[in-house]
């Protein structure tokens, strides 16, 4: 049996374990995760965040028996977005197909449960609190806190700051670009409120607020009635990061985002002040494989800005693509991982570009963006053969390759890029 070592039990790593173990060729999978098993540690909302899954991610997950029904238990469907405006009014978009929103860690827990109920230790071993610290590609070994393990294929599914990817730096012709986006973020959690607050925030919709300096709050309902999401703000013009006390947090939200401020209890304001600012890293690599025995997938290969809501979707889609390559190359691992680079790179690079520039950060361009989306979708509904759907519809409601979407929206991307360069001069 071929030994596959997967480093990182995030959505990509755990889904890959499922896909490999159900293959008839019989793989032995060891999954190594530096953190503890999320199913045995108390759940902390401060350590996680909601993600939206679209066509691409849901298709990947739904291939595993039982997962579709289990996701419905922990997720909520979102049928569009309400963009709230300062004057109490709002613009709304609707979707023909809903997004499924759920918590990232709960998704991982669900996939782990399905794994351990389906496979036993004869083929699957999960190792938590087990960071991989070193790799020896010549000997095909990885170093763990308690032992050194041998592999036939090592998969780096260890996120944007991938340790496995670090190994590629010593190899010939590897090119790599890491960029922090000019926007930072902090998580935001509003507990369930039974008070009749106006305006009511409709369930089944993403709620978004934006102020003139480009700061955005995005909140989604959770199955327990709470709301969670993020506030995204420019690193340069950064009033949010300097809010150091609960009172200053409350004052800020009540002044700039009153619908959020009135729903924020003092305890969350205090927690928000103490929560660290998170940076957003985007990653581009010239290849995702090394020789015939190391592969990168998910954020380790192509981390992207969360503003486009596709990082996890693309990470899950990677698994489907790799699985199809194993079919095509009759489980010849070396050929499949080499082809993975060839097939996936154009889309992964296009996704990073779309993540950076599909959605504008200035209010003026944002209004133009919303109007363009509406017009494109309207024309597409009336004359589907002559007009393509909008950029948003293509990203969120189709599985059209990202490279094709980028190609057909080059002029819009160039316009946003130019506007961002003017606004975020460093
Ligand atoms: C605020 C926010 C909102 C987002 N919203 C969305 C969204 O709406 N839709 C969407 O599709 N995506 C979204 N994303 C992106 C999404 O979360 C990521 O793209 C996705 O989690 C990537 O999955 P992954 O498995 O590749 O990596 P990760 O989720 O980063 O998992 C990597 C795992 O590897 C482990 N690890 C790291 N190093 C080691 C090591 N040396 N040894 C062992 N284990 C290790 C980590 O502990 C982690 O568990 C969002 C991201 C953020 C930050």
Separation of CA 262 and ligand 1 centre (Å): 31
Per the domain annotation, does 93 fall within a domain? no
Only one residue has tokens 């944007």, namely: 160
Domain CATH number, residue 43: 3.50.50.60
Give residue 259's pLDDT: 92
Task: Evaluate if residue 46 carries a pLDDT over 70.
Answer: no
Alpha-carbon gap, residue 134 to 156, rounded angstroms = 12
Give residue 93's pLDDT: 81
Give residue 426's pLDDT: 44
Per the domain annotation, does 197 fall within a domain? yes
Give residue 400's pLDDT: 93
Per the domain annotation, does 88 fall within a domain? no
Query: 119: Cβ–Cβ under 8 A, 6 or more apart, which residues?
Result: 21
* Shared-domain flag, residues 69 and 217: no
Task: Evaluate if residue 411 carries a pLDDT over 60.
Answer: yes
Q: What is the DSSP string of 213-235?
A: TS-EEEEEE-TTS-EEEEEEEES
Give residue 407's pLDDT: 96
What's the pTM value of the predicted model, to 2 decimals?
A: 0.93
Phi, psi of 157 (to 5 degrees): -115, 40
Average pLDDT over residues 420-426: 65
395 lines ligand 1 (CB under 6 A): no
75 lines ligand 1 (CB under 6 A): no
- The pair of structure tokens assigned to 294 is 């190391």
* Shared-domain flag, residues 126 and 143: yes
Total structural domains within the chain: 3
67 lines ligand 1 (CB under 6 A): no
From 355, 383, 398, give the residue that closes a domain.
355
Per the domain annotation, does 86 fall within a domain? no
Q: Is the dihedral of CA 393, 395, 401, 402 positive or negative?
A: positive
* Shared-domain flag, residues 55 and 175: yes
* Shared-domain flag, residues 134 and 245: no
The 10s digit of each residue's pLDDT in 261-294 is 999 999 999 999 999 999 999 999 999 999 999 9
* Shared-domain flag, residues 202 and 229: yes
Separation of CA 10 and ligand 1 centre (Å): 6
Alpha-carbon gap, residue 390 to 379, rounded angstroms = 9
Per the domain annotation, does 85 fall within a domain? no
* Shared-domain flag, residues 266 and 285: no
Average pLDDT over residues 338-366: 91
Work out the mean pLDDT of the chain and round it to a whole number. 92
- The pair of structure tokens assigned to 189 is 């959690």
Q: Are 158 and 300 in contact (CB under 8 A)?
A: yes
Separation of CA 106 and ligand 1 centre (Å): 13
End-to-end CA distance of the chain: 53
Q: Are 184 and 233 in contact (CB under 8 A)?
A: yes
Alpha-carbon gap, residue 250 to 246, rounded angstroms = 6
Q: Which of residues 29 and 96 earns the better pLDDT score?
A: 29
Q: Are 175 and 49 in contact (CB under 8 A)?
A: no
Q: Are 162 and 300 in contact (CB under 8 A)?
A: yes
Per the domain annotation, does 90 fall within a domain? no
The 10s digit of each residue's pLDDT in 382-409 is 999 999 999 989 998 888 999 999 999 9
- The pair of structure tokens assigned to 355 is 């993540």
Give residue 307's pLDDT: 81
Q: Which of residues 289 and 93 earns the better pLDDT score?
A: 289
Alpha-carbon gap, residue 323 to 400, rounded angstroms = 19
Count CA within 13 A, CB hemisphere, residue 180: 11
From 355, 377, 403, give the residue that closes a domain.
355
Separation of CA 1 and ligand 1 centre (Å): 29
Q: What is the DSSP string of 83-145?
A: EE-TTS-EEEEEEEEEEEEEEHHHHHHHHHHHHHHH--TTTEEEE-S----EEETTTTEEE-S
* Shared-domain flag, residues 144 and 210: no
- The pair of structure tokens assigned to 139 is 């000997």
* Shared-domain flag, residues 285 and 270: no
Give residue 77's pLDDT: 95
Q: What is the DSSP letter of 47?
A: G
* Shared-domain flag, residues 414 and 304: no
- Domain coverage including residue 414: 362-423
Alpha-carbon gap, residue 411 to 67, rounded angstroms = 40
From 274, 303, 324, give the residue that closes a domain.
274
Per the domain annotation, does 233 fall within a domain? yes
Give residue 141's pLDDT: 98
Per the domain annotation, does 138 fall within a domain? yes
Task: Evaluate if residue 96 carries a pLDDT over 90.
Answer: no
Strand 148-150 to 141-143 pairing? antiparallel
307 lines ligand 1 (CB under 6 A): no
Give residue 359's pLDDT: 84
| Out of 27-36, 100-109, 153-162, 352-361, least confident range | 352-361
Highest mean pLDDT among 30-44, 76-90, 140-154, 158-172: 140-154
* Shared-domain flag, residues 150 and 132: yes
Give residue 223's pLDDT: 86
Task: Evaluate if residue 196 carries a pLDDT over 90.
Answer: no
Alpha-carbon gap, residue 286 to 291, rounded angstroms = 14
* Shared-domain flag, residues 114 and 237: no
Average pLDDT over residues 373-388: 92
Q: Express as a percent the part of the chain with pLDDT over 90.
A: 73
Domain CATH number, residue 251: 3.30.9.40
Long-range contacts of 59-64 (CB under 8 A, 24+ apart): 59/317, 59/320, 59/399, 60/15, 60/316, 60/317, 60/319, 60/320, 61/15, 61/111, 61/316, 63/19, 63/320, 64/15, 64/18, 64/19, 64/22, 64/111, 64/114
Separation of CA 194 and ligand 1 centre (Å): 33
Would you place residue 420 in the very low, low, confident or very high pLDDT band (cuts 50, 70, 90)? confident
* Shared-domain flag, residues 49 and 127: yes
The 10s digit of each residue's pLDDT in 50-69 is 899 999 999 999 999 999 99
Give residue 382's pLDDT: 95
């Amino acid at each position: 049996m071929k030994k596959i070592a997967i480093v990182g039990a995030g959505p990509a790593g755990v889904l890959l374990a499922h896909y490999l173990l159900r293959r008839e060729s019989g793989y032995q999978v060891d999954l190594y995760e530096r953190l503890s098993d999320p199913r045995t540690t108390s759940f902390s909302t401060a350590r996680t965040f909601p993600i939206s899954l679209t066509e691409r991610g849901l298709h990947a997950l739904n291939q595993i028996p039982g997962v579709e029904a289990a996701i419905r238990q922990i997720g909520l469907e979102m049928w569009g977005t309400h963009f709230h405006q300062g004057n109490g009014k709002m613009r709304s978009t609707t979707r023909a197909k809903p997004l499924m929103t759920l918590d990232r860690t709960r998704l991982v827990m669900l996939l782990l449960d399905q794994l351990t109920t389906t496979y036993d230790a004869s083929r699957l071993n999960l190792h938590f609190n087990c960071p991989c610290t070193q790799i020896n590609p010549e000997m095909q070994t990885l170093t763990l806190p308690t032992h050194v393990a041998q592999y036939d294929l090592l998969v780096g599914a260890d996120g944007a700051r991938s340790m496995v990817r670090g190994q590629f730096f010593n190899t010939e012709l590897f090119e790599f670009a890491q960029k922090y986006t000019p926007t930072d973020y902090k998580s935001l959690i509003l507990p369930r409120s039974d008070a009749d607050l106006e305006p009511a925030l409709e369930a089944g919709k993403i709620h978004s607020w934006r102020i003139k300096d480009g700061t955005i709050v995005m909140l989604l309902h959770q199955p327990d009635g709470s709301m969670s999401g993020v506030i995204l703000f420019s690193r340069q013009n950064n009033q949010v990061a300097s809010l150091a006390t609960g009172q200053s947090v409350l004052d800020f939200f009540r002044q700039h985002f009153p619908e959020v401020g009135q729903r924020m209890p003092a305890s969350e304001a205090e927690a928000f002040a103490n929560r660290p600012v998170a940076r957003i890293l985007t990653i581009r690599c010239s290849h995702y494989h090394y020789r015939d025995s190391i592969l990168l997938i998910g954020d380790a290969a192509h981390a992207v800005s969360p503003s486009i809501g596709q990082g996890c979707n693309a990470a899950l889609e990677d698994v489907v693509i790799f699985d199809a390559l194993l079919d095509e190359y009759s489980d010849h691992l070396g050929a499949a991982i080499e082809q993975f680079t060839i097939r996936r790179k154009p889309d992964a690079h296009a996704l990073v570009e779309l993540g950076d520039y599909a959605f504008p950060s200035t209010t003026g361009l944002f209004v133009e963006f919303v109007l363009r989306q509406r017009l494109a979708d309207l024309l597409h509904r009336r004359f589907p053969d002559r007009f393509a759907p909008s950029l948003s519809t293509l990203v969120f409601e189709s599985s059209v390759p990202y490279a094709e979407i980028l190609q057909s929206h080059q002029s819009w991307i160039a316009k946003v890029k130019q506007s961002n360069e003017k606004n975020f001069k460093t």
